[in-house]
Homo-oligomer: A and B are copies of this chain.
Amino acid sequence: MRSPHEHPNIATKIAASFARQRLLQGFGAVLEKIEPGHVSLSVDIRPEFCQQHGFAHAGLTFALGDSAAGYSALTLMGEQQEVVTSEMKIHLLAPALGETMRADGHIIRQGRRQFVVGAKVWALKDGDPPRQIAEMLGTMVPVDPS
């Protein structure tokens, strides 16, 4: 992978992008970690995020994991490039029960035209070990400024 030294301002770039993500902002999501090739996000699981069975909706799980994976790719893209999701698969492994949801994104293959990325999403409950609730695998595309 390319050196992170090419991107001294990657944390600033991602924080600025994240601040414009109105859906995630509305959910109260926060940036937990930004490292080259790895970005983590978290969000409190509120009752208003739930589906018909009382667990957090898969749409929330997807949004958090997709964003963590996309930003992971963005850490190693060009300074002027943006990231767009091409396609993403999510396996829902367990009900999203707990106080907080955290998504850890990572890069599997860095390419010039495509990044293959993954994310693991966890439900956290005070006193319990983290429980993996989703596994994701997808493709991110770098977009040059228009």
Give residues in A with beta carbon < 8 Å to B.
17-18, 20-24, 26, 47-53, 56-60, 62-64, 66-67, 82, 84-94, 108-109, 113-114, 116, 118, 132, 135, 137, 139, 141
Contact = CB atoms under 8 A, between A and B. Distances in A.
Contact of A137 (B51, B56, B91): B91
Contacts of A141: 113-114
Given A62-B62, A137-B137, A139-B139, A21 B57 contact: yes
A89 B17 CA distance: 25
A52 B18 contact: yes
Contact of A84 (B59, B92, B109): B92
Contact of A92 (B20, B85, B132): B85
A63 B94 CA distance: 17
B109 A85 contact: no
